Structure 1
Amino acid sequence: MTGMIVVGDYDPRWPERFEDLRQRLAPHVADLAVSIEHVGSTAVPGCAAKPIIDLDIVVAEDATMPALISRLTEQGYRHEGDLGIPGREAFQAPPAAPEHHLYSVVTGSRPHLDHVLLRDYLRQRPDEVRRYSALKVALAQRFRADCQGRRDYSRAKSVLVEELVAKSYVARAAGEP
């Protein structure tokens, strides 16, 4: 892939794509998972995003991870480790599956809360969604869709992401959605 990173307007079909992926995964992990969550920008109505669904398989405790990793591997997923985020396990989707990012987290852990609190915070704040979307669109025009470009894109948006995550924790502490 040598073109530019693609960030497009919100697609109202993204929740359906998530549900399709959730239904594909659920039979294989239902006895291990607390939930399967739609996270990331595609889970926020109105948010510009790369057209790739992000999912979290949420488990009750870390001791469940080896069994979950084994089950997902049997389904063709490739375990990629934590990719630098302790407490979150990442998986590469099988080649024949629709493109998506799959993670596993322990309920209530920092990686789990970062994902769901940010999602829920943005769902309630269209002004922040517009701000975040504008940054992502601008950055996508600057970086190529190769490994280095994707890393640079992620780094460039990380300051705003960290700010929004911090605001989501403050909102949670204040009892706000």
Structure 2
Amino acid sequence: MEKYGAGSIVVSDYDPNWPILFSQERTRIEQALGAFALAVEHIGSTAVPGLPSKPIIDLLVGVPSLEEARQRCIKPLEAFGYIYMPQYASWIPDELFFRKGPPGPWTHHLHVMEPSHPRWDARLVFRDYLRAHPDVARAYADIKRALATSSKDNIEAYRTGKDVFVAETTAKARVWRALAEDQ
């Protein structure tokens, strides 16, 4: 069982400072990586206004080459307080994963990947769909709060407990976006 770094999993009410914290961190990442960072996106629940979340800012950084990112990104990001977590490669392949903050509670999660990877699009369309559908975001909040209570400090159970909802919502989000693009 993978334990949550801060003890019990807590889903906090939405904090309007989360977008500000993202913006500040995006600036730091852009300084650290320069033009190698093709895009820096705010993802996860803290990127959806009104959605309760674990108070961790999730960032998605697009790079032209993951292989090159292994050589060019780890040291500059570590200089900004990020800890590279290579052990996560089995759970989230084809990306580099970093955490920032004391050894729990973590304040930031950073995902580095190529924008051509299917997970890039999935994360963005899921976020955008929740932003546009507050009723779906509320349903997601209910699931997250129930999982936080039942999972206690088992972060793997918390993550996998959301899988079906995320997969189904992402599929709906792709249809929603395709319909919007056709108009």
TM superposition score category, shorter chain reference: 0.7 to 0.9
- The answer to whether structure 1 residue 38 and structure 2 residue 17 are counterparts is no
Task: Work out the number of aligned pairs and report it.
Answer: 174
Distance apart, 1:100 and its partner CA: 0.7
Tell me the residue number matched to 1:58.
62
Question: How big is each residue's C-alpha offset from its partner over 1:154-174, in whole Å with a ceiling of 9 and x where there is no partner?
Answer: 111111111112222222232
Distance apart, 1:3 and its partner CA: 4.5
Tell me the residue number matched to 2:166.
161
Gap regions ≥5 residues in structure 2? none
Tell me the residue number matched to 1:170.
175
User: Which residue, out of 132, 136, 139, partners 2:147?
Assistant: 139
CA distance in 2: counterparts of 1:137 and 1:76, whole angstroms: 29
Tell me the residue number matched to 2:110.
102
Query: One-letter code of the match for 1:84?
Result: W
Question: How big is each residue's C-alpha offset from its partner over 1:138-165, in whole Å with a ceiling of 9 and x where there is no partner?
Answer: 11111222xxx11111111111111112
Query: One-letter code of the match for 1:151?
Result: E
Tell me the residue number matched to 1:84.
91
Task: Give the number of the structure whose residues are more often helix, by fraction.
Answer: 2
Distance apart, 1:94 and its partner CA: 5.5
State the secondary structure of the residue aligned to 1:174. Answer: helix
Distance apart, 1:72 and its partner CA: 2.0
CA distance in 2: counterparts of 1:9 and 1:75, whole angstroms: 27
State the secondary structure of the residue aligned to 1:17. Answer: helix
Query: One-letter code of the match for 1:111?
Result: R
State the secondary structure of the residue aligned to 2:170. Answer: helix
User: Which residue, out of 128, 135, 138, partners 1:130?
Assistant: 138
Query: One-letter code of the match for 1:68?
Result: C
C-alpha contact (below 8 Å) 1:83/1:90 kept by paired residues: no
C-alpha contact (below 8 Å) 1:18/1:55 kept by paired residues: yes
Tell me the residue number matched to 2:74.
69
CA distance in 1: counterparts of 2:102 and 2:29, whole angstroms: 15
Q: Return the TM-score normalized by structure 1.
A: 0.87
Query: One-letter code of the match for 1:117?
Result: V
Q: Return the TM-score normalized by structure 2.
A: 0.84
Tell me the residue number matched to 2:51.
47
- Deviation >3 Å, runs of 4+: 61-64, 73-76
- Report the more deviating stretch, 120-129 or 161-170: 161-170
Gap regions ≥5 residues in structure 1? none
CA distance in 2: counterparts of 1:107 and 1:127, whole angstroms: 29
Q: In 2 relative to 1, CA 158–51 (structure 1 residues): closer, same or farther, beyond 3 Å? A: same
RMSD: 2.4
